[in-house]
Amino acid sequence: MSGKRQDYISWDEYFMGVAELSAMRSKDPSTQVGACIVSQDNKILSMGYNGFPKGCPDDTFPWEREGDDPYETKYFYSTHSELNAILNYRGGSLEGSKIYVTLFPCNECAKAIIQCGIKTIIYADDKYGDTAAVRASKRMLRSAGVELKPYKATGRKLEVKV
């Protein structure tokens, strides 16, 4: 046999795969989200997943979605995957980069994405697409000229042995 392998994964499969793998680090019992920021020349710049900030332990802060008191729900505390990926970056500017996300970014993440100069979003799931938060997100992103690309799933199962 000669020549290169033919069944290697595509760039999109690679980066969405990294976003999916990042999501597997999330402790959120209902929705695990992962993000992978990539340069224009396909270098991985940063990654993130949804979770509580440093110093806010996973075992003492609440993971509940609902409750009489919002103080005891996760929403006040969880840092979204996209924001974590942006904040995790230590290299300078993210201007012109792309972000692969397993879930379409909310309005707060959209603001951060726009302001740090990310120009393309490749997203897998859009399960909250009908909510005001995601509609507002799309409104801002479109207005700011950020390209929104649904990820075209290939159905390939990526297996890693660890």
What residues line the site for ligand LAUPNLSC (CB under 6 A)? 28, 30-31, 33, 50, 65, 74, 78, 80-82, 103, 105-106, 109
Query: Catalytic residue among 20, 72, 82, 108, which?
Result: 82
CB neighbour burial string for 36-51, b if at least 16 within 10 angstroms, e if fewer: bbbeeeeeebbbbbbb
- In order of 60, 71, 158, the CA distances from 36 in angstroms are 28, 30, 17
Residue 109 binds Zn ion, judged by CB under 5 A? yes
Residue 129 to residues 6, 55, 120, 134: CA-CA distances in angstroms? 36, 32, 18, 5
Which CB sits closer to ligand LAUPNLSC, 68 or 159?
68
- 159 is an active site residue: no
Least spacing, CB of residue 9 vs ligand LAUPNLSC, in Å? 24
106 binds Zn ion (CB under 5 A): yes
Q: Which residues are catalytically annotated? A: 82
